[in-house]
Structure 1
């Protein structure tokens, strides 16, 4: 009887062990992917910058060809074109200068992207499992901005001193609330979700815009001087709750 039982259930232990190993491997892979998200996003950004530079250089070549074509049609030399250009050659030169400026900007963006990848790679290798995930850092940054705004809503003295920060008739305050809505729209539901690098970049940029918008709203309201110096770390943060925005009526 015992032999029959063993023969019937011999596969249970290996299967259970295999399932456990697969689950552990899946969790570990998700954890690595979540921790590597900022690096993957930086590499994606670098790739986009590289392709943007290629397009910028193509536009420069096209603009140079347009200048030569305009000169040929007008029958003027390079010196004569520089002194008394026809409207077509003047416009072609203007487009060439604009294309060169765009190319220069693309080169600077690519250099910045390379530096960002290098720095993010170092941060990734130096991070420990106790450190917050990159997306959690963005959550904390967004929540910290909301907490700053809430201080003007919950503190009676601040609410009286700086009513502009709750009044959407002021352009800077309205810009802040719009930036908040955009950041909230792009905010992932959970840090454990599978987030593609493109979504991370969009959310990161939205959070940066939110920070800048509130800084400007505070400055225009005259409240920037009253804000205490930021802490060296904003982690951990309280449980997040959606911001209740005032109406624009």
Structure 2
């Protein structure tokens, strides 16, 4: 009996330790899940914080410009006073723009909060919706390479000598670079940067299609983005991305480097 009691006593610590480890794992997974589900709201709050800082900087610039105007008037320096007044006008316009941007960011926070409260566990995560939009754009463009009829009808869509196509390919490369790989570890800043890259990709595709003469060029619809979240579409998107990874290096090599404006 004593050996049995000795064994039970020596292993008794395992039960609470295992329970604690399990609870910690559950809490960690739950926290990451909540963070992933409220990512769009957190991104809106991040943008609001940035907009507020930019408004503070703009207000400080206005005060500095006002001080420069008064200094120039006190010294009776006409050329300096005119330049100071122009700077004050620019500073006030920047302040107005920053104020409007802050108001817009606060509206996005309210909308993000409402969406977060209305979302269910069955709804796709914000990053999954953004992945779907990204995949829908890439799938739409690949049709111009894989569909013979489209390739012959709209050759500009794959011609790197065409300016709009070059812009699209650069936007495509940027979106691929910004695309997160782990849905539970995306920061608000990463989400904002990736979302901006996807929006730029969508706009560049629309413009490339317009210049190529594609009828009815329009951004991907909500139905197309939602369809990309289904299992079949995800599988197709994975195949598409693999194919794109093989094709993109050869296309990027042909893209001319961007010309930077020399400093004045």
Q: Alpha carbons of 1:186 and 1:180: their partners in 2 closer, same or farther (altered >3 Å)?
A: same
Return the alpha-carbon distance in structure 1 between the equivalents of residues 50 and 22 of structure 2.
40
Could you tell me how far apart the structure 2 residues matched to 1:98 and 1:48 are? 21
Which structure would you say has the larger RCO, counting Cα contacts within 8 Å and 6 or more residues apart? 1
Structure 2 unpaired stretches of 5+ = 256-264
User: Structure 1 length normalisation: TM-score?
Assistant: 0.89
Runs of 4+ in 1 over 6 A off after TM superposition: 226-229
CA contact (8 A) 2:178 2:194 kept: yes
Tell me which residue corresponds to 1:79.
Answer: none
TM-score (norm 2): 0.84
Residue 199 of structure 1 is matched in structure 2 by 190
The aligned length equals 238
Q: Deviations over 1:81-119 (max 9, x none)?
A: xxxxx3322211111111111010001000000000000
Residue correspondence of structure 1 range 1-249 to structure 2 within 5 A: 1-74=3-76, 86-192=78-184, 194-225=185-216, 230-235=221-226, 236=229, 237-239=233-235, 240=238, 241-242=241-242, 243=244, 244-245=247-248, 246=251, 247-248=253-254
Residues 29-77 of structure 1, C-alpha deviations (whole Å, 9 max, x = no match): 11111112111111111011011101101111111111112222226xx
Which stretch of structure 1 is more off in the superposition, 5-14 or 44-53? 5-14
- Report the more deviating stretch, 178-187 or 219-228: 219-228
- For 1:169 and 1:218, the matched residues in 2 are separated by 15
Structure 2: distance between partners of 1:233 and 1:223: 19
Contact residue 56 and residue 106 of structure 1 kept, 8 A: yes
User: What is the aligned-residue RMSD (CA, Å)?
Assistant: 1.9
Q: Secondary structure at the match of 2:75?
A: helix
Distance 1:121 1:23, change over 3 A: same
Q: Which residue of 1 aligns with 2:261?
A: none
Checking the alignment, whether the CA contact within 8 Å between 1:172 and 1:216 is kept in structure 2 is: yes
